């Protein structure tokens, strides 16, 4: 047995076990055989789901998300309460003018 096949079967059994445990305390508990059949259906349907998924979901190309700066003023982080938005705006202005 190859390592790839062993990993596939391991992932399949983990999925079946998770399905079995998730529905153990429900109104109609699922048997492990039923959970294993569901896991096999999920694995066999993977190529079809991948074919109909949009390109960005297939992971064929890296996704780049533009993020703003993560740096925040310590004054802004310490603000809390009901009027935090207006206080943050005014204190941000004060902070920026002090640096001039």
Q: Note the pLDDT tens digit of each residue in 58-81.
A: 666 666 767 666 665 555 555 555
- CA neighbor of 33 nearest in space, from 44, 43, 19: 19
Which residues are CB-neighbours of 20 under 8 A, at least 6 positions away? 30, 31, 32, 35
Mean pLDDT of 11-25: 89
Q: Could you tell me the pTM of the whole model? A: 0.50
What is d(CA 5, CA 54) in angstroms, rounded to the nearest whole number?
A: 27
Nearest to 8 by CA among 44, 38, 37, 56: 44
The ranges assigned to domains in the chain are: 3-52, 73-100
């Amino acid at each position: 047995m190859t390592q790839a096949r062993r990993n596939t079967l391991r992932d399949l059994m983990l999925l079946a076990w998770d399905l079995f445990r998730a529905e153990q305390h429900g109104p109609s508990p699922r048997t492990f055989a039923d959970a294993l059949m569901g896991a096999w259906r999920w694995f066999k349907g993977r190529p079809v789901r991948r074919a109909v998924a949009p390109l960005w979901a297939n992971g064929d190309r890296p996704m780049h998300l533009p993020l703003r700066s993560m740096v925040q003023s310590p004054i802004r982080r310490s603000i809390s309460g009901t009027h935090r938005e207006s206080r943050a705006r005014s204190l941000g202005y004060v902070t920026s003018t002090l640096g001039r």
